[in-house]
């Protein structure tokens, strides 16, 4: 019995290294294959909704979707088996997504209409963000995350201000504009305000009265102007980090062993302060 | 008489602390409840304009709106009673809004059509900006207000320039384009110019002649380019403030052991405030 | 004869001071009145094109337009008389605009249809930019002009790049999309490309084929991304100027009379370097 | 024979200098003429697709297109003859474009419909980017290229994030919205998401259900906000370069009188290069 157990244990450990690890070649390969299959599965679900494509390749699509579903199910079971804390994985965000990504196909056996729910698989794309932990991107994304984190407080205040403005402008436009122009209710007016303020401008609802158009013009200029605020906030954070990075990363300062003065000039052979020779053999 | 008076005075004082103050627990609770009721009242007015919702819950809506109106009326009376300067409050911006937020419902008894005016209550949302004085947001919003204040002069010059450009472009487009394309008058052309310059682009009016489309393309490129100006102005202000803030945060300040004054100058040997020697051996 | 001449000369000089000068009270008043009348004249021309307004107030509009035309004509004549270099004024940009702003009304006596050309008066609004020379705005607008001037080189390269991209993308879209979608010719396709690239998006022309929509999505992301370029250019220039301004304008440094060390701390009473008392009575 | 050969060699060398070189007057002139003819040829192809223009000037257009085709063919042959590495040129990017720019007209003799393919000539416009190597623009475009290159890593991460968000939002909108609103398939929904996120907003597809409009509003605000990210990245890079440039320009460098090395450090007393004392009495 013990031998079987230990064999199972070895299998479990190896699976764990392949599925969860990224340090071994097999682990990295598994990640790549998984990402490829997720992309393929999302592509298939996408194409299935295109009538003309589905009509032609319906059977192939069904076959591949079943293949992917079985692969995902196996992966899900292996993930539970191989991890040391199966409950934690099952209840985690990714654990839940991994499960519900497989369910719609099984459900569709009993309830044919539910297969469309497999679009939920698109959420597995979030796993792709793991790539951002790849060394090549790490420094870049850390830099960006930090800048965005630092901007969060100000952005919150800004969005708060925009939302209240949106409600007030929406209410005013509802009174000013007739229902015929599309401003059928205040929520609809607020929707129009957001469409206009963000300069999206679908044009499905647009003011028809002179006063409404005048107010709309003000909203547009407001929206055109306040885009400067989030941009300003984020840019200032990026600029700060860039400058700091500059100092920390690029310039390896040389310390004069005689007087202690620091210099950033890499070509410097002599200390600018005391004139002694520098040891510059880094 | 005096006793009653003093009792009334005590009630007045307590009410004042609750309504106007934010330092006591009751004061903060009142603020929260008030904000909640304002949000609810705005939500109700919004939903009332949605035909399908109003048809279903008309009576409940009417009931809640009356309840809120009475609450707002009581609050308004208490605010007048408890403050030390009632006239000042009544004539203040918030005082007027607080009053007209309650009026439409009372008016609607005599003139049924006026109930819709209670959308004016949305203006009470402005009170929500008081939250920005919350310590959590204060530093962020001060920072932003300062940056925006500093940008005001340049932004004014910019908007002034945009408005004149808008009139000139609008006039030219009116001559170039026929009335069939929607350019029915110069104000309409100016409206189109603003819609285009701000990159909103509804498409309800759009040039049809080759020359008009050529000019429109120029306006678009202009609009695409000049958005850089307000963004540049605001960003530069944010960046400046961020850099300054940086100095305050990063640099370990030296505290004078004699008078407690802080200095940021690392080379400082003497306190700038009391003139005593600093211990600077960190 | 000499007396008349000198009287005329005095009148000429006084007129010159009033019309061209801004240093006397009368000169400033004249400028203000002129600006007001220009604004009024533009407003009248604008309202004349609004059918419903014109129908009601046609006679009043005609009266005021004649009054303004005569005022502008007198002003034009006075400007020629009072200046020392009349030919230079007549041939200058403003001289030509001042003239053609009056002509359409006189022409309309003989050719009724030409009155609409008085919209050309809108160009007189350019005179409003003279306000930017007002001390209140001077520093702001100099600052902005400098920043924009410094960005000119890079912006030119950028627009050059955008225009070539526009032609290539437009040609590709013309081949990809059918004429039914609105891509009737390459110039039309280029117009669509500019509408899309600048994120205006009228929607009067929009791709219908899958390939066309895919390419359009690429163009949108490109347009969304490259707006960063002019913004980056202008912002960097503003930021540079802001930082420099900061150093020069805000910080009135205090110099220690004993050791010569500079401090930016306005509250400093003692020199941080030598500990001597500072003379801080600015 | 040798004489002929050497004559041909001289002709080849001269042609090479004119076609490939930019140092001689003839070389620059040839470049200018070539750019002019490319522009003209693109203009002609563009106008040919305008029905009304083509109807009038069909024969002239055909004539000029043949003239240009023959010119391009001659240029192509001369380029092959005169270069020292003909194979390399033929296989190069520009070599292939130069060839296929001439083919459609020759093909159109046998297959009348293929003449439209001469729009491919628009790609020759890419040669116009050679102008960017003109000294006037070099510093500007180097500066921009560097800034954009440095932003590349972060922009890639950003676009990656946007694309995944686009797929997820598109899938959600497909489920939420009915096919009648235009959300006929997931690819179509993704197309709508990109149109909305980039604030283009054609309006050919727009959500009709309250939930769909609510989600659309969130997407718009997201799109309005995240434009700050690429702008922030690029601006920070521009600002960094601008500041560095600043240091070089503003700060009066100190030149070592012994070795000629320049230093920016104002406190420097000794040359960092040769160790001699600096004369720093400016």
**What's the mean pLDDT when you consider all of chain B?**
80
Residues D124, D126: Cα–Cα separation, whole Å: 5
Residue of C nearest to A238 (CA): C232
Residues C19 and C124 reside in one and the same domain: yes
Give me the pLDDT at residue D107, please. Answer: 87
Beta-carbon separation of A269 and D272 below 8 A: yes
Which of the residues C196, C224, C262 would you substitute to probe the D interface, choosing the one with the greatest number of D C-beta atoms within 10 Å?
C224
pLDDT score recorded for residue C249: 39
For residue D252, the model assigns a pLDDT of: 45
Q: Is A263 helix (H, G, I), strand (E, B) or coil?
A: strand
| In the predicted structure, residue B268 carries a pLDDT above the cut 70 | no
Query: What angle, 0 to 180 degrees and rounded to 10, lies between the N-to-C axes of helices D210-226 and A186-197?
Result: 20
pLDDT at D259: 57
Residue A252 pLDDT level (bands cut at 50, 70, 90): very low
| Mean pLDDT across D169-174 | 90
Which residue do the tokens 């093909």 mark? Answer: D107
Same domain, D8 and D117: yes
Minimal CA–CA distance to D223: which of D196, D203, D204? Answer: D196
The reported pLDDT for the residue numbered D100 is 87
Report chain A's terminal Cα–Cα distance, integer Å.
Answer: 60
Q: Who has greater pLDDT, D119 or A37?
A: A37
Share of chain D above pLDDT 90, in %: 17
**Separation in Å, CA B89 to CA B98, C118, D277:** 10, 51, 73
> Helix A186-197 to helix B25-48 angle, to the nearest 10 degrees?
100
Are C142 and C123 found together in one domain?
A: no
Could you tell me if residue A267 is inside a domain?
A: no
For residue range B202-243, list pLDDT tens digits in order.
988 889 898 999 999 999 999 888 888 888 888 888 888 776
Cβ neighbour number for residue C129 with a 10 Å cutoff: 13
Q: Which residues contact A127 (CB under 8 A, 6 or more apart)?
A: A34, A35, A38, A94
Mean pLDDT for A79-101 is 88
Q: Which residues on chain B are in Cβ contact (under 8 Å) with A225?
A: 155, 159, 230
Q: Which residues contact B8 (CB under 8 A, 6 or more apart)?
A: none
Whether A262 is covered by a domain: the verdict is: no
Percent of chain A with pLDDT over 70: 80
Does D60 reside within a domain?
A: yes
Whether A66 and A144 map to the same domain: the answer is no
Whole-number pLDDT of residue D271:
57
Does C96 lie in the same domain as C143?
no
- Give me the number of domains chain B comprises: 2
Chain D contact for A279 (CB, 8 A cutoff)? no
Q: Give D 24-63 residues with CB within 8 A of chain A.
A: none
Which residues of chain C lie closer than 8 angstroms to B276, CB-CB?
275
Q: What is the pLDDT of residues D187-211, one digit of tens each?
A: 999 999 999 999 999 988 889 899 9
* Nearest to A266, CA basis, from A249, A251, A245, A277: A251
Based on the fold, state whether residues B90 and B61 are members of the same structural domain: yes
Instruction: Indicate which CATH number applies to the domain containing C143.
Output: 1.10.287.70
Is D227 among the domain residues? yes
Domain match, A6 and A128 both: yes
Do C120 and C60 share a structural domain? yes
B267 pLDDT exceeds 60? no
Q: Residue A73 — pLDDT band, cuts 50, 70, 90?
A: very high
Give me the residues of chain C with pLDDT under 70, please.
Answer: 1-4, 129-138, 243-282
What CATH number did the domain enclosing C73 receive? 1.20.120.350
pLDDT in tens, B28-58: 888 888 888 988 988 888 888 888 888 999 8
- Taking the CA atoms of residue B139, residue B142, residue B143 and residue B147 in that order, the dihedral angle to the nearest 10 degrees is 180
B202 contacts A199? CB cut-off 8 A: no
| DSSP string computed for B122-176 | GGGGGGGGGGGGSHHHHHHHHHHHHHHHHHHHHHHHHHHHHHHHHHHHHHHHHHH
Greatest Cα pair distance, chain D, in angstroms, is 87
Whose structure tokens read 């939930």?
D211
Q: What angle do CA B211, B215, B216 make, to 5 degrees?
A: 115
pTM over 0.95: no
Q: Is the pLDDT of residue A196 over 90?
A: yes
Quick one: A79 and A149 in the same domain?
A: no
Residue B244 has pLDDT above 70, yes or no: no
Checking if the pLDDT of A260 tops 70, the result is no
Judgement on whether residues A106 and A165 belong to the same structural domain of the protein: no
User: Do B48 and B88 fall into the same domain?
Assistant: yes
Residue where a domain terminates, one of D132, D149, D184? D132
Pick C199's closest partner by Cβ from A199, A202, A231: A199
CB contact under 8 A, A119 and D174: yes
Q: Is B156 on the interface with A (CB under 8 A)?
A: no
Cβ within 8 Å of residue D87, ≥6 positions away: none
pLDDT reported for residue B243: 65
Q: What confidence tens digit (pLDDT) does each residue in D93-115 have?
A: 888 988 888 888 888 888 877 77
Residue C272, in any domain of the structure? no
Q: Which residues in chain B have their CB less than 8 angstroms from residue C169's CB?
A: none
Residue D202 with chain B: CB contacts under 8 Å: 203
Residues A8 and A85 in one domain: yes
Span D4-56, pLDDT tens digits: 678 888 888 888 888 887 778 888 888 888 888 988 988 888 888 888 888 99
Q: Report yes or no on A180 lying in a domain.
A: yes
Which residue of C231, C233, C234, C240 to mutate against A (max A Cβ within 10 Å)?
C231
Our CA angle for C148, C151, C157, nearest 5°, is 135
- Choosing from C83, C108, C132, the residue where a domain stops is C132
Residues C115-138 have pLDDT tens digits of 777 777 878 877 776 655 666 666
The nearest CA of chain B is from the CA of D163 a distance in Å of 23
> Chain C residues with CB inside 8 Å of A201's CB?
200-201
Q: Which domain holds residue D234?
A: 136-248
Tokens in use for B255? 């505290």
Q: Is residue C243 part of a domain?
A: yes
**So what's the pLDDT on residue B166?**
92
Nearest to B140 among A157, A220, A224 (CB): A157
Residue B264 has a pLDDT of 47
Residues of A in contact with D223 (CB under 8 A): 198, 200
In a domain, A41, yes or no: yes
CA distance D42 to D30: 18
State residue D280's pLDDT score: 47
């Amino acid at each position: 019995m013990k031998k079987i157990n230990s064999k199972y244990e070895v299998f479990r450990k190896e699976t764990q290294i392949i599925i969860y690890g990224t340090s071994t070649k097999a682990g990295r390969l598994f990640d790549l294959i998984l990402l490829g299959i997720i992309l393929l599965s999302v592509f298939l679900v996408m194409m299935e909704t295109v009538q003309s494509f589905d009509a032609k390749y319906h059977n192939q699509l069904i076959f591949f979707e079943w293949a992917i579903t079985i692969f995902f199910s196996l992966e899900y079971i292996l993930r539970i088996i191989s991890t040391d804390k199966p409950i934690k994985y099952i209840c985690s965000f990714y654990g839940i997504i991994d499960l519900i990504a497989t369910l719609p196909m099984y459900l569709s056996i009993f309830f044919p209409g539910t297969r469309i729910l497999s679009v939920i698989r698109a959420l597995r794309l979030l796993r792709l963000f793991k790539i951002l932990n790849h060394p090549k991107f790490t420094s870049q994304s850390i830099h960006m995350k930090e800048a965005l984190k630092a901007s969060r407080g100000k952005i919150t205040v800004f969005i708060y201000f925009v939302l209240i403005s949106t409600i007030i402008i929406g209410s005013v436009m509802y009174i000013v504009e007739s229902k015929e122009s599309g401003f059928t209710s205040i929520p609809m007016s607020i929707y129009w305000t957001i469409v206009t303020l963000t300069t999206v401008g679908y044009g499905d609802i647009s003011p028809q009265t002179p006063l409404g158009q005048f107010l709309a013009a003000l909203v547009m200029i407001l929206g055109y102007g306040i885009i400067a605020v989030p941009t300003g906030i984020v840019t200032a954070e990026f600029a700060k980090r860039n400058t700091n990075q500059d100092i920390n990363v690029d310039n390896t300062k040389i310390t004069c062993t005689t007087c202690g003065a620091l210099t950033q000039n890499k070509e410097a052979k002599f200390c600018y302060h005391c004139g002694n020779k520098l040891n510059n053999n880094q």
